[in-house]
Amino acid sequence: MPNLISSAFYPLLGDRVYGPIGKAIDILAIFATLFGSATSLGLGALQMRGGLHYLSDAVPNSGSSGITVALIIIAVLTVAFVLSAISGVHKGIQWLSNTNMVLAVLLVLFLFIAGGAVFILNTFAESLGGYIAQFVPMSFRTTAFFNDPSFLSSWTIYYWAWWISWAPFVGTFIARISRGRTIREFVIGVIVVPSVVSMVWFAIFGGAAIGLALDGKIDAATIAGTPETSLFAVLNQFPLAAVTSTIAIILVAFFFVSGADAASVVMGMLSSKGVIHPKRWAVVTWGVLTGAVAAICLLSGGLTGLQYAAIVSGGPFVLVLIGLCFSLFKALNAEPEMGAEPRTAPEPGRAMSRPSGAPSPQQMSGDSPEQSGRSNQ
């Protein structure tokens, strides 16, 4: 089946995924991906501008001059991730991801040591316990008994919508590079490991910032008012501030470039009937559109405009995700239990292949049913 979001609905909708319903699902996926990536690109530009301002007062961080700097950063990042995207998954995207990991590990180890390892470990343990205890009540919090829902809208709903807008292209891209993996391997590698890494990351950076605030070295309320510069305000309190801030700026750039180039490839796939290797012009077009949307949102309302873009794009896709849950459940129930047939060794640089004879409702090919029928003839 084609590598499309609509293909995942085949267990639920059958051949209707090739009609208007399937096309509507894929259009929603492209829409969510475009605005979700643009939101990330805009936020990355604001954060990089804040970091450059911390390194040099000559870089403006507000006003019309600050907007100009952010637009220049967006243009540079757009060129970077378009070039990375057209270079292929095993070249640009893989190199950026590996470089990201090395720099991120170095920065987080530095902050873990300099920020007080014992306090950070205590913060991690206590925060994890608080998260588990409050997970259910906070999931149902709607501020029904409060007249000020600003935190719920500007934080909870905004981040939910933003993450949901990343779902179509992240899921499609991971599916592309994970073909042949078992569900257990997929869950561990895509959900468990990233969740643990995120917990450690937030514990170290958040713990270091909370420690500084408790010691009176930073004003937490002031820093919270300017989220694009809060990271650099924390790094500025430790040794080698210029070096760590520079690494942080490079990390932000690489993180958003590696995400946006994958998004450009996926949007090229979704708009090209699910082909694994979309045409370069399609990838470039979607990359340029992502940069343009980020610039327009930034000009129309700054951070607020980017937040609205994320909510508008991610909101409708919630319905698609709910349908995907039912479709996956139905597909797994219909899947025959696999035997203990050994899998063949994968080719270098490729995922292990699916056992021969196993049904694959989402096999990664761009052939439509009509094309498959002609090939069988």
pLDDT at 133: 93
Domain that holds residue 229: 5-141+150-333+361-372
In a domain, 338, yes or no: no
pLDDT at 93: 65
Q: What is the mean pLDDT of the chain?
A: 81
Q: What is the 3-state secondary structure (H, E, C) of the chain?
A: CCCCHHHHHHHHHHHHHHCHHHHHHHHHHHHHHHHHHHHHHHHHHHHHHHHHHHHCCCCCCCHHHHHHHHHHHHHHHHHHHHHHHHCCHHHHHHHHHHHHHHHHHHHHHHHHHHCCHHHHHHHHHHHHHHHHHHHHHHHCCCCCCCCCCHHHHHHHHHHHHHHHHHHHHHHHHHHHHCCCCCHHHHHHHHHHHHHHHHHHHHHHHHHHHHHHHHCCCCCHHHHHCCHHHHHHHHHCCCCCHHHHHHHHHHHHHHHHHHHHHHHHHHHHHHCCCCCCCCCHHHHHHHHHHHHHHHHHHHHHHHHHHHHHHHHHHHHHHHHHHHHHHHHHHHHHHHCCCCCCCCCCCCCCCCCCCCCCCCCCCCCCCCCCHHHHHHHHC
In a domain, 316, yes or no: yes
Q: Please state, for a pLDDT cut of 90, what percent of the chain lies above it.
A: 14
366 — pLDDT class (breaks 50, 70, 90): very low
In a domain, 51, yes or no: yes
The tokens describing 120, both together, are: 């950070």
User: For the range 365-370, what are the long-range contacts, defined as Cβ-Cβ under 8 Å and sequence gap of 24 or more?
Assistant: 365/1, 365/2, 365/3, 365/276, 366/2, 366/3, 366/272, 366/273, 366/274, 366/275, 366/276, 367/2, 368/2, 368/18, 368/273, 369/15, 369/18
In a domain, 177, yes or no: yes
In a domain, 28, yes or no: yes
Per-residue pLDDT at 47 exceeds 70: yes
Task: Please write the tens of the pLDDT for every residue from 63-98.
Answer: 788 888 989 998 998 888 888 777 765 566 677 778
Query: What is the spatial distance between Cα 90 and Cα 351, in angstroms, rounded to a whole number?
Result: 13
In a domain, 377, yes or no: no
Task: Please write the tens of the pLDDT for every residue from 309-328.
Answer: 777 777 788 888 999 999 98
In a domain, 53, yes or no: yes
More confident residue, 230 or 177: 230
In a domain, 352, yes or no: no
Domains: count for the chain: 1
303 — pLDDT class (breaks 50, 70, 90): low
Is the pTM of the predicted complex or chain greater than 0.85?
no
Task: Please write the tens of the pLDDT for every residue from 13-25.
Answer: 888 888 899 899 9
